[in-house]
Amino acid sequence: MWLEDVALESTHVKLMPLVADHADQLVAAASDGDLWSLWYTSVPNQDSVESYIAFALDQKSKGLSLPFVVIDKNTNNVIGTTRYCNADTTNHRVEIGYTWYAKSYQRTSINTECKMLLLQHAFEKIAAIAFEFRTSWFNYPSREAIARLGAKQDGILRQHQKLPNGSYRDTVVFSILDSEWAGVKVNLEYRLQKYKS
């Protein structure tokens, strides 16, 4: 298996492997902002959280995914989730996706810290050659956050997915290459220093 369980930790957050017992904590985090009501992304509620976790763990068992819960180190509460997903184990390419945080943690250092942990582990420990990020065309906050990390937009997949309401999702694709990691790392370290000042 290319992707293996790991716990990652920075100043304010811990990324711990997702397990079935995290269901109630994920629902509690998602209820901060009623995140499941956002039509352009998929965040679990009380009714869908078990299938959400079951899918993540199924993908993990196939070597395609490595899901995490995001934990606030100050409170030890689960505040969201993120994962390596759609892994190409032959070419060592992987996507970071299924990322969401409780509303009160958005636009803080949390996303930058999580991305730094995930990117550093992938590029420096497991020799990934490229990281991909995908988001809905209409998820403007996510698109802006991905660009701030230093990822470059590769393109837009038009009518990429059919949504439950019958409409189609246009998916915006970004990436960071291993040859770009040194510069991206400096940018992330600089951004994290600004949060401290």
| Residue 181 belongs to a domain | yes
Q: Output the domain CATH number for residue 63.
A: 3.40.630.30
Report yes or no on 129 lying in a domain: yes
How far apart, in whole angstroms, are the C-alpha atoms of residue 148 and residue 187?
9
Q: What does the pLDDT look like over 76-95, one tens digit per residue?
A: 999 999 999 999 999 999 99
Q: How far apart are CA 55 and CA 27, in angstroms?
A: 16
- The helix (H) or strand (E) run that includes residue 22 is none
CB neighbourhood size of 71 (10 A): 22
Query: Residue 66 has what pLDDT?
Result: 97
- 174 within 8 A of 151, measured Cβ to Cβ: yes
Q: What is the pLDDT of residue 106?
A: 86
> What pLDDT is stored for residue 39 in this prediction?
62
In a domain, residue 118? The reply is: yes
Whether residue 3 lies inside any domain: the answer is: no
Residue 124 and residue 105: Cα distance in Å, rounded?
Answer: 27
> Model-level pTM?
0.89
Residues 29-40 have pLDDT tens digits of: 998 767 786 666
The number of distinct structural domains making up the chain is 1
* Domain coverage including residue 182: 8-196
Which tokens is 84 given? 């390596």
Q: Does a structural domain hold residue 51? A: yes
Output the six-digit token pair for 37: 């009501």
Structural domain includes residue 1: no
